[in-house]
Structure 1
């Protein structure tokens, strides 16, 4: 029994298991790509974002 035979027996014999695997994989993959792009954006824009500028959003004390 090879790798492909094992994957076929576990995932692709029943349509409900296959569809569940595809939907769950798409959800997990989307979250991974979203987090990766967000971290890349933060890395490339350090010091340029609104949160990084200390004087913005602060009120002067009376």
Structure 2
């Protein structure tokens, strides 16, 4: 994850990351999309998703 963050910061590279480890993925994400049973339940800035306690507990498990 540190390498991804460094590459995106230094080069402006865009990365689409599909990851089950939500905490790890959100640590490098600028934006997050949360799916539940194939439906988008959140599509927002990663900081806003991380700050939404109800969303995190219901869908992200932390």
User: Structure 1-normalised TM-score?
Assistant: 0.22
Which protein has greater RCO, CA pairs closer than 8 Å, 6+ apart?
A: 2
